[in-house]
Amino acid sequence: MRITKLAACLAALSSPLMAADLENPNHTNMPVTALDAVTVTATRTAKSALNSAQAVNVINAEQIEQVLASSVFDSLISIPNVTATGGPRNMGQKFNVRGFSDAEDVLISVDGAIQTFEKYRMGSFFSDPELYRSVNVKRGPSTVLHGGGALGGVVEMELKDASDFLAPGEQGGVKVKLGHHGNNNENNGTVYAYARPTDSLDILTSYVKRSSDDFKLSNGETLDNSGIEAESLLLKVEYYLNEDSLIGLSYTKSEDNQRTEFNTTDPGAWGMVYREIEQSVTNLSYELNPANNPYVNLTARLGRTQSQVVESDGSGTLKDFIGLESNYEYNITTLDIANTSLIKQHTLTYGMQYSEKDRVGTKLSYPCLNLDMQTYQCIDYAEQAIQDEITSQPGGTQKRIGVYLQDEFIWQALTLTTGLRYEKYKTTATSSFANSFNNLDTDVEHSQVVPALTAHYQINNQLAVFSSYQQGFRAPLIDELYDQYGGRDPALELKVENSTNKEIGASYQNQNIFTNRDALTARVIYFKVKIDDEIQSNTNIATNPEPAARYNNSGENQRDGIEFEINYAHTLGYANFSYSRISGENQNNEPLWYLPADKFALSSGLNFFNDMLKTGFNIQHVNDRTVLVSGIEQQHKSYVLAGINASWDINDSWNARLAIDNLFDKEYQVIAGTTGAIGDYGVGRNIKTQISFKF
């Protein structure tokens, strides 16, 4: 088998509910649970999610297909303390992990390339779920292995490749999916073309198209200007140089171009704009894992992600806010080199990561010569349009380099994992900004050293306990350093934001619970997070008079919570239950009202006729929570949502699927994306169908 460890990981991810148990090769006919899925996100070494001693979960392609997801966020139901904020517009959603929802606090990567985007009243991730074979979600900081800026957690996405479609001995084929979503009259289609022309070369291309009308909300109203006009493209090539090494190249691009609502994250219409969205990821990778060399398991990745939003033709007050055209970009280059060496009882993982993030915010407009201060609309414009930087969306470049070392030491039933990372940042303003502050040194540097320690003790074959301590940090963002909102000074004295994360937990795994064909896994985790020197925004002229900087390190907060999961798998079906709770307070002992509510989730399924027919049911109960709206406490009401799904393999080539979201058409509201308050009403009942065939 080519690259044995890698192949093992991929096999496990391809079918975590019913695949053979890779960690127990003598029980290849036994079912495995969702927590048995193998991941490298937690420790950069292949482990099941259950045995990683970390709060990590894996969503695979089958789970995404079960619910006929139109966005990656549709598949987060079962993960404790993980949800989406914003929406329900697809372009207004962000990941929320343990109450951290800003783009800088949840690190997202695609095939190892860092991807981020931040813009007022917009989401952060726009790619289509049909492109991904797995989504790994790590809750809590993972700074030693992944770097700064992941105080909430890490979301690692892996693109599909040809091996996900090719049957043994097959050289190529095509798979087509055609679907319809009833709620918003969405029509979608996906085409995969895959080939293995030689034993050493795998090729996959894919194209996805979605087009819809507006969503019908759970309160019976229509969410105006919420339609979808999205296209996605994937090309992935892997070439095996020999039995021990491969080189890979992938490219993916997603677009959504249409006239739409400016505010996609929170309730209320701000006006219309024509918005062009494009996100792309290019990756070049090399892997070397000699079968008889325990000192070399090398991975090198060079990635380039580009996110661009162009807005024009604004209506009402947006005409002046947008100008003729506003352009927002994040262009990120990532180099990630890691190696793992086995030395007796030690597994050493060490490496270097470099990234360079360019942020662009420019506006082409006619300067306003006479502004009506009552309506904030311009009365008289200059005759010549000019292009200038957006002061509230400043551009610049931030370079980061980090080196790290992790040691997994195994002594009998104890695994002790220690890690250390050094990281340095250099942030540079645009030349235009630097020239306007020529009396200041606008280049800013930050550096930090962070440790991590995890202990895992296997009491017996079934029960284990674990504990971890991890420090995290986040360097100031480009916009936090250089923002000039309302004519304010830049915040060049900002310090690093720090966090400490403590966890303690237990895991359980067993087989032959009720029959000789079933398995049970469970995990419970208690966590406590403390944030120091939190970077906060203050535009209140009474408490922060102009021209004082908008951002400062005045905040502190702490939060704690519990996460419980129990998974049962049988050859005839499965049942997964999860519960999560989180609460916290700031330095003034005021509750963190923007945290998500307590959540119960249950998903289950039954298989019939030798797995030709698979059925599923899911339900989630989200408790009420108290939020602050303009200083007044309000109740975000609790709700219960149910869904069903079914998959029928008509024959070897044809498959039909059905999924119904919000089965009973219950009224509910999501979490607002900007403030964490009460958001828009969620989507009403949505009946989704799909037919697929391959040849």
92 and 671 Cβ atoms separated by less than 8 Å? no
Give the lowest-confidence range in 212-221, 377-386, 394-403, 544-553.
Answer: 377-386
* Average pLDDT score over residue span 308-315: 94
Closest CA to 596 of 533, 673, 525, 658: 673
- Residue 556's contacts (CB-CB under 8 Å, 6 or more residues apart) are 530, 531, 532, 533, 534, 586, 587
pLDDT band at 43 (very low <50, low <70, confident <90, very high): confident
State how far the Cα of 442 lies from the Cα of 490, in Å rounded to an integer: 9
Tell me the three state secondary structure of residue 486: helix
Residue 597 clears pLDDT 50, i.e. is over it: yes
57 and 38 Cβ atoms separated by less than 8 Å? no
pLDDT band at 628 (very low <50, low <70, confident <90, very high): confident
Q: Other C-beta atoms within 10 Å of 248: how many?
A: 19
Instruction: Give the residues across from 208 on adjacent strands.
Output: 190, 232
- Residue 422's contacts (CB-CB under 8 Å, 6 or more residues apart) are 402, 403, 404, 447, 448, 449
Per-residue model confidence as pLDDT tens digits over 248-293: 999 999 999 989 999 999 888 889 999 999 999 999 999 999 999 9
pLDDT band at 24 (very low <50, low <70, confident <90, very high): very low
101 and 94 Cβ atoms separated by less than 8 Å? yes
- Give first-to-last CA distance, the chain, whole Å: 26
64 and 51 Cβ atoms separated by less than 8 Å? no
Per-residue model confidence as pLDDT tens digits over 117-151: 988 889 989 999 999 999 999 999 889 999 998 89
Tell me the three state secondary structure of residue 684: coil
Residue 312, phi-psi category: left (phi > 0), alpha (psi -120 to 50), beta (remainder)? beta
554 and 538 Cβ atoms separated by less than 8 Å? yes
Residue 265, phi-psi category: left (phi > 0), alpha (psi -120 to 50), beta (remainder)? alpha
Write the CA distances from 325 to 274, 362, 366, 396, 411, integer angstroms.
10, 8, 11, 20, 62
For the chain, the structural domain boundaries read: 38-694
Instruction: Give the residues across from 327 on adjacent strands.
Output: 310, 362
Comparing 286 with 37, the larger pLDDT belongs to 286
State how far the Cα of 335 lies from the Cα of 538, in Å rounded to an integer: 35
Structure confidence at residue 3 (pLDDT): 45
State how far the Cα of 375 lies from the Cα of 291, in Å rounded to an integer: 71
Structure confidence at residue 29 (pLDDT): 66
Rounded to the nearest integer, the mean pLDDT of the chain is: 92
Per-residue model confidence as pLDDT tens digits over 507-517: 999 999 999 99
Task: State phi, psi for 475 to the nearest 5 degrees.
Answer: -75, 150
Give the lowest-confidence range in 9-18, 71-80, 147-156, 228-237.
Answer: 9-18
Structure confidence at residue 376 (pLDDT): 73
Structure confidence at residue 379 (pLDDT): 86
* Average pLDDT score over residue span 77-93: 92
Q: Tell me the whole-structure pTM to 2 decimals.
A: 0.92
The pair of three-digit structure tokens given for residue 336, joined into one six-digit string: 């990630």
State how far the Cα of 267 lies from the Cα of 677, in Å rounded to an integer: 10
Closest CA to 281 of 246, 238, 235: 235
State how far the Cα of 695 lies from the Cα of 691, in Å rounded to an integer: 14
Residue 234 clears pLDDT 80, i.e. is over it: yes
Residue 10 clears pLDDT 80, i.e. is over it: no
Closest CA to 504 of 544, 562, 554, 430: 562
CATH class of this structure's domain 38-694: mainly beta
Structure confidence at residue 23 (pLDDT): 38
In the chain, the percentage of residues whose pLDDT exceeds 70 is 96
* Average pLDDT score over residue span 225-233: 94
Structure confidence at residue 619 (pLDDT): 98
> For every residue of 621-661, which 3-state class applies, written as one string?
EECCEEEEECCEEEEECCEEEEEEEEEEECCCCEEEEEEEE
Strand ranges for 296-443 from DSSP E: 298-312, 325-343, 346-365, 368-372, 377-381, 386-389, 396-411, 414-429
The conformation of residue 1, written as its DSSP 8-state character, comes to -
Instruction: Give the residues across from 238 on adjacent strands.
Output: 202, 248
